[in-house]
Amino acid sequence: MALLTAQNVTLGYDNTTVVEDLNFEVNSGDYLCIVGENGSGKTTLMKTILRLKNSLSGKIFTGEGLRQNEIGYLPQQTEVQRDFPASVWEIVLSGCLNKCGIRPFYSKKEKMLARENMERMGIAHLEKRCYRELSGGQQQRVLLARALCATSKMLLLDEPVAGLDPKATAELYEVIDKLNKEYGITVIMISHDISAAVKYASHILHISHKPLFFGKTEDYVKSHIGQAFTQGGQGV
Amino acid sequence: MTENFSKLADYLRFDFVRNALIVGVLIALCSSLLGVTLVLKRFSFIGDGLSHVAFGAMSVAAVVGLTDQMALVLPVTVISAIILLSMGQGSKLKGDAAIAMISVGALAVGYLLQNVFSTSTNVSGDVCSTLFGSTSILTLSKGDVWTCIILSALVLAVFIVFYNKIFAVTFDESFSQATGIRAKAYNLLIAVVIAVIIVLAMNLVGSLLVSALIIFPALSAMRLFKSFRGVVICSAIISVFCALIGILISIVAGTPVGSTVVVTDLAVFAIFALIGVVKK
């Protein structure tokens, strides 16, 4: 039984199919990168995993005791967030909300968890700062810390380095790698950055309206599609 | 100056003035709290649209001859809020167009009804007072005051109990939903509370100016404060302060209550915006 399994999944909107026949498994400790061109269905797939959308057919289910609300999520930034007046502390703490249930306020335990995750992400000193005044890299760390409050098992990241400068990009990849290797958190990441995907991920899922490849990264690099994409598609 | 103060002291002896102050402060407090969420979620116009719906409903209530207009206006506005909100999410008729349509439609229907079926001799006076709330705050009955106190208490309680959830849903709806917070349900709750606030606030500033009462304090507070809690508390203080000052000025100077309160809000916004620019 895997942590997350997709069986014959077809995704799309209303009458248009975006991806067909997806089959893959994510096991505990994996680092899966989902790659593919724009509009190939990556974000749709992620939304379906998070149950923000329903699949047209087939099913995606969790296993090994991973509950649906225990998947941490790092979404792409929205327009609303760019000028949102909120302190780092408020945002990180809001990740603990799924532990509150119907209790209206946070307990000591949740506040400790939030503090712990801020230290893990190296943003403890930013606690009182306003989110909208932080750099792009810092903002992503805040959102990562929030996601970590919601999960200790699985993180879903939607193009986490989009819009970051090269230094912040490299740092963020290191942080995510550390979460995967040291803390054993399973990572599923959507990425445009194929060179980083090949460097860090243990598994690759390449989709373009249908699944082109799913398997270990070392096999992907040797495969026909992998070679075409890694050489021709640098920085796509 | 002293003359004005003694005039004020005179007025404060009247029940209707004290009622106006109590109700005004409560309405200002409630409307400012959710204003922050409304502004941040880009829902400002929903407030405006709903206030027009409330105007339409009030006209219908007046024509039918209901003694308790609230009994019709409140449910109609709440239902419209729910419809408007669900329209905004991925339907064919886009959110802003739907709001514009409903709001001007309700306005037209309301005025038409009042004009055709009106029993009073001063139709334009009636319409004007519903739109700009010129006198209703000073003619509140005991029952109105109690309704207002109870509804305000409810709004406050809901806001405090769901504060953390409202924050999470406002900041990032998809994250909340993905981690098991029922974002859609909270959106609905927010819409219902806003509808209640709008119906309440129509008493103070009239239906055309309601959205000013909701968004101005939030916008002012956002110029200066950097945490969500800071913005919420500051906008509540601004709103209560402006309502008090506005009502008092209007009593002394004999100006219309609603527009005086809104102009005070506008002045505070100008000051805060200026300070915000200078601080940068």
- Both ends of chain B: CA-CA distance in Å? 37
Measured CA to CA in angstroms, residue A125 lies from A129, A142, A197, B3, B248 at distances of 9, 12, 30, 55, 46
Give yes or no for a contact between B192 and B44, defined as CB atoms under 8 angstroms apart: no
Chain A contact for B167 (CB, 8 A cutoff): yes
Answer whether 0.90 is exceeded by the pTM.
Answer: no
Residues of B in contact with A94 (CB under 8 A): 164, 167-168, 171-172, 176
Give yes or no for a contact between B190 and B39, defined as CB atoms under 8 angstroms apart: no
Give the residue ranges of chain B where pLDDT is below 70.
1, 87-96, 119-121, 133-136
Computed from CA positions of residues B176, B181, B186, B188, in that sequence, does the dihedral angle turn out positive or negative? positive
- 58-77 in A: which are within 8 Å (CB) of B? 68-69, 71-73, 75
Domain A1-66+154-236 has CATH 3.90.1200.10: no
**Does the distance separating the beta carbons of B179 and A130 come in below 8 Å?**
no
Residues of A in contact with B161 (CB under 8 A): 104
Structural domain boundaries in chain B: 2-274
- pLDDT for res B45: 75
- pLDDT for res B87: 67
Residues of B in contact with A51 (CB under 8 A): 178
Tokens of A132: 């909208």
CATH class of B2-274: mainly alpha
- pLDDT for res A233: 47
Angle, nearest 10°, between helix axes B15-40 and B228-253?
A: 150
- pLDDT for res B210: 85
Which chain A residue shows the shortest CA-CA distance from B36?
A85
Structural domain boundaries in chain A: 1-66+154-236, 81-152
pLDDT for residue A236 is more than 50: no
Tokens of B225: 């404060």
Shortest distance between the Cα of B121 and any Cα of chain A, in A, equals 49
Chain A contact for B233 (CB, 8 A cutoff): no
- pLDDT for res A235: 42
What band does A188 get if pLDDT is binned at 50, 70 and 90? very high
pLDDT for residue A142 is more than 90: yes
Dump pLDDT digits (tens) for A7-41: 888 888 777 888 888 888 888 889 999 888 877 78
SS3 B14: coil
SS3 A157: strand
- pLDDT for res B238: 95
Give yes or no for a contact between B194 and B37, defined as CB atoms under 8 angstroms apart: no
Shortest distance between the Cα of A168 and any Cα of chain B, in A, equals 23
Average pLDDT for A174-185 = 89
Closest CB from A87, A90, A98 relative to B179: A98
A35 vs A207: CA distance, rounded Å: 6
